[in-house]
Amino acid sequence: MKLLAVDDDPIFLDLLVTTLNELGYDNITPVKSAMEALHELAIATDPFDCLLFDIQMPVKNGIDLTKEVRQQARYAHTPIIMITSMQQRDFIDQAYAAGANDYVVKPIQSLELAARIGMVKKVAELNDQVRHAASRTGQTFRFSDAIPLEPRDNILNYLALENYLLTLGRLRMSNICAFGVSLVGASDRFATSPIDEYTDILNDIAAIVVDHTIKYRPLVSYAGSGRFIVVLPRAMGLDTEDLAAFVNAELESLYTSVYLPEEMGAEVRMGPVHRPRMLNGFSPNSMITKVLGGMSDEVQGARYKHLWKSAA
């Protein structure tokens, strides 16, 4: 794997490179500023496979750097891991909203870093397999796949959302709630539409949901099978039935103006807001199961059980 490590602290940067070397990663480019990082990204003949960003840096911080990198088509979906001493919830939320895929708090632990980089490596290998299979068969995604959406503030890929919840669990942060969004007739739509058209609809839904919930600081992700999950730090005054009406009205207006009359429009349904049980601590597994379980016939609660053990 080709890694780019960015941190303005030369002592920590040397430590990070040494730790990565000990873990078997030797193709590492260390730089001390966001501007140096952007330069390395621009001149790289072969793209980097993973980016490791500090948050607190002069001139341009790691969150702003993440936003800028996500605007580059070459690195729109490249894994970004924040490695920082900042444990405050605002920094965590802003980092993931900007497009980070994971969040590691200093001081780094070798085993933890190995697990995070290892996960990134497996995801990269899986993505390569999907691309190669698609080139041979013409098939790109299955209905149940968490299709990655276009990079945009507050929209995450599903692995990043899982990592966000794990980060909150590790840091004992339980001020969180979530609700589900489901595309009506998603299975039929997927079976009868070109994949590009189906993905465009998913992107439209996610963007409209973000626009109508932005004051709640949402993180929106597509979970597969026509379902989205929306995670928020608070939801006081949010009525998901009213929200669904606003979103559907905008979808109707969009598709009426864009598509021919005979084309099928898009409609969503939304579940209630779920909050974790406070008596027994933060339970991401329980919340995810409740949010997604009622949104379609496919309940995938068992898939998440192993993910939350490290957060307990």
Asked if residue 36 lies in contact with residue 8, where contact means CB atoms within 8 angstroms, the answer is no
**Which domains, from first to last, does the chain contain?**
3-130 (3.40.50.2300), 155-311 (3.30.70.270)
Cis peptide before 107 (omega within 30 of 0): yes
Q: What sign has the CA pseudo-torsion 102, 107, 112, 117?
A: positive
Question: Considering only CA atoms, which of 133, 143, 154 is closest in space to residue 198?
Answer: 143
**Which residues, other chains included, contact 151 with Cβ-Cβ below 8 Å and sequence gap of 6+?**
70, 71, 76, 77, 99
Radius of gyration (C-alpha) of the chain in whole angstroms? 20
d(CA 60, CA 69): 12
Asked if residue 257 lies in contact with residue 240, where contact means CB atoms within 8 angstroms, the answer is no
pLDDT at 30: 97
pLDDT at 290: 79
Asked if residue 296 lies in contact with residue 271, where contact means CB atoms within 8 angstroms, the answer is no
Report the mean per-residue pLDDT for the chain: 85
d(CA 138, CA 136): 6
Question: Considering only CA atoms, which of 233, 181, 242 is closest in space to residue 207?
Answer: 181
Amino acid of residue 79: P
**Which residues, other chains included, contact 33 with Cβ-Cβ below 8 Å and sequence gap of 6+?**
6, 8, 57, 58, 59, 60
Show pLDDT as tens, one digit a residue, over the chain (312 residues): 899 999 999 999 999 999 999 999 999 999 999 999 999 999 999 999 999 999 999 999 999 999 999 999 999 889 999 999 999 999 999 999 999 999 999 999 899 999 988 887 776 666 565 555 555 555 578 899 888 898 899 999 888 898 898 888 888 777 888 999 999 999 999 998 888 889 999 999 999 999 999 999 999 999 999 999 999 998 888 999 999 999 999 998 888 765 544 556 789 999 999 887 654 555 666 777 778 876 754 333 333 333 333 333
